[in-house]
Amino acid sequence: MPERLPLFPLGAVLFPGATLALHVFEERYRALVEHLLDLPADAPRSFGVVAIRSGREVGQSFTAVGEPREHLHDVGCVAEIRDVEAYSDGRYDIVTSGTRRFRLESLEPPGASGGPWTGGVVEWLPEPADGADAGRRAVAVARLLAEYVAALPASVARELPLPDGRGGLTPAALSYAVASSLVVPQDERQLLLAAPDTERRLALEARLLRRETALVSALAAVPLHAPATTLPN
């Protein structure tokens, strides 16, 4: 059943299980953080992160007359606030964790959900049970990830949100952890988020890891589209 969710459009893709730090300074999103902090203690302090197809993060109205929804991707991820640091001038530093995916069905104008931020009507996306091949694919992707990280300069590899090397992740959790770590363009990160199941996400990651490892090894260069872990709004 569709639900309403406050939205935080960003020039980044958030995955379930990933950490995203934000410096919040724009008035509408400061109001959103204040609204979430005022909720009862047992209420989820969460909002939807949806990646921007085109345009800018700051000052853009995604529901303005004549501005189609093509500016935003359809699939996003809920961010739940884990830590907050408030500044005397009204800014916030927040740390969030990705929880569950959604499909953006429609947008609501600022004010419709109680504040100056944009809202969305969303449909929760299912997380199908891992198929028979998911475990095999996960083992292969973990090996390819190790080769990819080894090809990167140590200074770059240290900045990536790599999965815990102690193992124990389910294939689904590994697929999202690898997606968060891959240094690929935003459109490809979005494809990973929108993949309908773990097996297809792992299959796409295997292709991307082979390609990126070969490029880094051949060119001795690192792409400029590294996934950001701290972003302004």
Q: 40: Cβ–Cβ under 8 A, 6 or more apart, which residues?
A: none
User: Distance (Å, rounded) from C-alpha 28 to C-alpha 84?
Assistant: 17
Give the SS3 label for residue 137: helix
Q: Quick one: pLDDT band at residue 226, thresholds 50, 70, 90?
A: very low
Q: Percent of the chain having pLDDT more than 90?
A: 61
Q: 128: Cβ–Cβ under 8 A, 6 or more apart, which residues?
A: 196, 197, 198
Q: Average pLDDT in the 47-59 region?
A: 73
Q: Per-residue pLDDT tens for 77-94? A: 999 999 999 999 999 999
Q: Quick one: pLDDT band at residue 59, thresholds 50, 70, 90?
A: very low
CATH topology of domain 3-125: 2.30.130
Highest mean pLDDT among 117-131, 186-200, 209-223: 186-200
Sign of CA dihedral 51, 54, 56, 60: negative
Q: Per-residue pLDDT tens for 198-221? A: 999 999 999 999 999 998 888 766
User: Distance (Å, rounded) from C-alpha 119 to C-alpha 59?
Assistant: 16
Read off the pTM. 0.87
User: Distance (Å, rounded) from C-alpha 98 to C-alpha 79?
Assistant: 5
Q: Domain residues of the chain, as ranges?
A: 3-125, 134-219
pLDDT above 80: residue 227 = no
Highest mean pLDDT among 61-70, 198-207, 217-226: 198-207
Structure confidence at residue 58 (pLDDT): 43
Q: Percent of the chain having pLDDT more than 70?
A: 85
Give Cα 172 distance to the centre of its chain.
Answer: 15
